Amino acid sequence: MLWRVCPPRSEVSSAERYPKSPSIHSTRNLRKSGRHFLMDPREQIAAMESLRLRGLDVIAFYHSHPAGPSYPFPEDIRLAFYPDVATLIVSLENSQPPVIAVFRIVGGRISE
Ligand SMILES: [Zn+2]
């Protein structure tokens, strides 16, 4: 899973909110599956601590569905623990240009 971050909203203008070079962090998929993912908790904690020390917020988690649609699977919904962070899913299904969709998952409910 990759993370893209920006400075905290309360401390910057809208122009600064989305830097040209966002910070991106990757974590291993402990599921070792093309259909499901589970972030390595040690890598997740290390990345979040690194961001916190730099005064940055996570704005999105993103991952791919190599053989599935760009829509959350039930496990994506079950593991959506951060309601303020968007979920970006890249579908590589059908060998066509990737399809990217962004969702907000709050309390098991999905909104685009
Ligand atoms: Zn997924």
- In the prediction, which pLDDT does 71 show? 94
pLDDT truncated to tens, each residue of the chain (112 aa)? 444 444 444 554 554 555 556 778 888 888 877 777 788 899 988 988 888 888 888 888 888 888 889 999 998 999 899 999 999 999 988 878 999 999 999 999 999 8
The full DSSP string for 44-72 is HHHHHHHHHHTT-EEEEEEEEETTS-SS-
Cα 35 to averaged position of ligand 1 atoms, centre (Å): 7
Q: Which CATH number fits domain 2-111: 3.20.20.70, 3.40.140.10, 3.20.80.10, 3.90.1150.10?
A: 3.40.140.10
- List the chain domain ranges: 2-111
Cα 106 to averaged position of ligand 1 atoms, centre (Å): 15
- In the prediction, which pLDDT does 58 show? 86
Q: What is the pTM of this model?
A: 0.75
| Strands 86-91 vs 109-111: parallel, antiparallel or unpaired | unpaired
- In the prediction, which pLDDT does 23 show? 77
Cα 12 to averaged position of ligand 1 atoms, centre (Å): 31
Residue 89, helix vs strand vs coil: strand
